[in-house]
């Protein structure tokens, strides 16, 4: 019995981690900054490829993952400065620009690195409960997802940078008048978003096939989670992920992956219909 219970928790944790890690970066870039970042998947791919490249050079996996997230973050800052910065007042154009960027990046990777690279293998470690065996690494992913949520909360709610960032997103002109360096804040926020996407790729790299279009498998889940979460990212993303993870896990377990995917997307449609502002709108209203 306890094996069944643990198995349910494990499956929930697995889907939850996938949703949070793939959505965290987008929550900042799309949820807070309002940039429809179609290149989100490519930042994820970047994190994965850098991780694998470094591990093959002999760098230990955790350090490679941290460096990969950092690399993606720095590239994010550069992309913000060169491209995204010009589109803050034109969200639909930012969609086109980042989509173009994503096409260029996947095709270039295909031409330069090739259609597929060999994987590095998931870190050893598994444990058995009842008749089931589990991979320890999946629990590491869950722990990382929780750490990312806590880190985001602390950064944006408890630090001086967080206060200025939120002020900038709400009213950039006023923030600037009060002395916030909004240009820099935008760049750093975008960089954090890209870095978190890179972290997602870095963490999932050992468990997946590595191809230039691998980011695409994360993109639907990440947008869905952020949209369901709603305008207030810090309050929305986590409950949205919990809600969607429960639905998906339950349907996956009883009816298989097809129904799991259909059911989750159906739930998304329902929520957007009933709560156009997302889950966070309810929570924020309650809070007031």
Partner 1 sequence: MKSGHLLRSALLGAVLGVAACGAAQAAEPPLKIGLLEDVSGDLAFMGMPKLRGSQLAVEEINKKGGILGRQIELIHLDPQGDNARYQEFARRLLSRDKVDVLIGGITSASREAIRPIIDRTTTPYFYTNQYEGGVCDASMISMGAVPEQQFSTLIPWMVEKFGKKVYVIAADYNFGQISAEWNRKIMKDLGGEVVGEEFIPLGVSQFAQTIQNIQKAKPDWILTINVGAAQDSFFEQAAAAKLNLPMGSSIKVMLGFEHKRFKPPALNNMHATANWFEEIDTPEANDFKKRWRAKFADELYINDMGYNAYNTLYMYKMLVEKGKSIKLEDMRKVIATGEACIEAPEGQVCIDPKSQHTSHRMRLISVGPQHEVKVEKDYGTIKPYWLGEIGCDLTKKNDKDQYTPSHLPKKS
Would you tell me which residues interact with partner 1 (CB under 8 A)? 7, 10-11, 14-15, 18, 106-107, 110, 114-122, 126, 128, 131-135, 137-138, 206-214, 216-217, 249, 252-253, 256-258, 260-261
Measured CA to CA in angstroms, residue 10 lies from 23, 134, 139, 155, 248 at distances of 20, 9, 8, 28, 13
Rounded-to-integer distance, Cα 219 and Cα 78, Å: 22
CB of 212 to partner 1, least distance (A): 8
- Cβ proximity to partner 1, 4 vs 93, nearer residue: 4
Query: Which value, to the nearest 10 degrees, does the dihedral of the CA atoms of residues 81, 93, 98, 153 take?
Result: 70
Q: Which residues contact 221 (CB under 8 A, 6 or more apart)?
A: 18, 19, 22, 23
Query: Which value, to the nearest 10 degrees, does the dihedral of the CA atoms of residues 59, 110, 75, 82 take?
Result: 160
- Cβ proximity to partner 1, 10 vs 87, nearer residue: 10
CB of 222 to partner 1, least distance (A): 13
- Cβ proximity to partner 1, 34 vs 125, nearer residue: 125
- Cβ proximity to partner 1, 37 vs 252, nearer residue: 252
- Cβ proximity to partner 1, 35 vs 240, nearer residue: 240
127 DSSP β-pair partners: 134
CB of 18 to partner 1, least distance (A): 6
CB of 217 to partner 1, least distance (A): 4
CB of 220 to partner 1, least distance (A): 8
- Cβ proximity to partner 1, 81 vs 134, nearer residue: 134
Q: What one-character-per-residue DSSP string does 214-278 give?
A: TTHHHHHHHHHHHHHH-S-HHHHHHHHHHHHHHHHHHHHHHH-HHHHHHHHHHHHHHHHHH-TT-
CB of 31 to partner 1, least distance (A): 23
CB of 213 to partner 1, least distance (A): 6
Maximum Cα–Cα distance across the chain:
63
CB of 123 to partner 1, least distance (A): 8
126-159 burial, b at 16+ Cβ within 10 Å, e below that, comes to: eeeeeeeebbebbbbbbebbeebbeebeebbeee
Q: Which residues contact 51 (CB under 8 A, 6 or more apart)?
A: 61, 64, 65, 68, 120, 201, 202, 205, 206
- Cβ proximity to partner 1, 16 vs 186, nearer residue: 16
- Cβ proximity to partner 1, 6 vs 87, nearer residue: 6
Rounded-to-integer distance, Cα 168 and Cα 162, Å: 10
């Amino acid at each position: 019995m306890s094996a069944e219970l643990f198995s349910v928790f494990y499956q929930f944790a697995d889907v939850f981690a996938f949703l949070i890690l793939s959505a965290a970066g987008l929550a900042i870039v799309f949820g807070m900054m309002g940039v429809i970042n179609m290149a989100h998947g490519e930042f994820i791919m970047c994190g994965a490829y850098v991780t694998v490249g470094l591990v093959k050079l002999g760098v230990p996996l955790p350090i490679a993952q941290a460096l990969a997230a950092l690399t993606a973050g720095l590239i994010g800052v550069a992309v913000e400065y060169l491209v995204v910065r010009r589109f803050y007042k034109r969200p639909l154009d930012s969609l086109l620009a980042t989509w173009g960027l994503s096409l260029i990046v996947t095709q270039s990777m295909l031409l330069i690195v090739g259609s597929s690279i060999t994987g590095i293998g998931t870190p050893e470690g598994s444990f058995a409960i009842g008749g089931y065996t589990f991979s320890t690494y999946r629990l590491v992913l869950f722990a990382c997802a929780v750490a990312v949520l806590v880190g985001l909360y602390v950064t944006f709610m408890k630090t001086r940078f967080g206060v200025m960032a939120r002020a900038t997103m709400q009213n950039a002109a006023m923030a600037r008048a009060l002395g916030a360096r909004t240009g820099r804040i935008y760049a750093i926020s975008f960089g954090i978003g890209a870095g978190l996407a890179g972290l997602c790729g870095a963490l999932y790299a050992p468990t997946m096939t590595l191809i230039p279009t691998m980011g695409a498998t994360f993109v639907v889940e990440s947008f869905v989670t952020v949209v369901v979460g709603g305008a207030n990212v810090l309050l929305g993303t986590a409950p949205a992920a919990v809600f969607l993870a429960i639905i998906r896990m339950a349907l996956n377990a009883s009816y298989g992956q097809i129904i799991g995917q259909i059911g989750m997307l159906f739930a998304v449609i329902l929520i957007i219909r009933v709560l156009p502002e997302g889950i966070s709108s309810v929570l924020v209203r309650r809070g007031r």
